[in-house]
Amino acid sequence: MTVVEQWTTDHEDESVIVVSEDEFREAAARALADLGLTYADLEEQAERRDFSSAQAHALWVSIGGTVDL
């Protein structure tokens, strides 16, 4: 990952890392593959509000509605 920008927040243990759109899409695709899901699968789980795992729910919170994979 190439860090384009990095900011600190008001909390000393947190920082914000800005990545390119391509890197975000690649990371999202990799996370979906790790869970054995497609974006459509994850979107369907979100519509039902019935996720296959806590990781799937966390991924939806992170990427839901932001990419079209």
> 6-20 in b/e burial notation, b at 16+ Cβ within 10 A?
eeeeeeeeeeeeeee
d(Cα 39, Cα 59) in Å, to the nearest integer?
10
| 41 is a domain residue | yes
Domain that holds residue 25: 20-69
- The answer to whether residues 57 and 43 touch, using CB atoms and an 8 Å cutoff, is no
| 1 is a domain residue | no
Q: Across the chain, what does the average pLDDT equal? A: 86
**What is the tally of structural domains in the chain?**
1
Per-residue tokens: 8:
């600190």
| 38 is a domain residue | yes
pLDDT tens digit string along 38-54? 999 999 999 999 999 99
Q: Say whether pLDDT at 9 is over 80.
A: no
- Residue 6: the pLDDT is 59
Tell me the whole-structure pTM to 2 decimals.
0.76
| 59 is a domain residue | yes
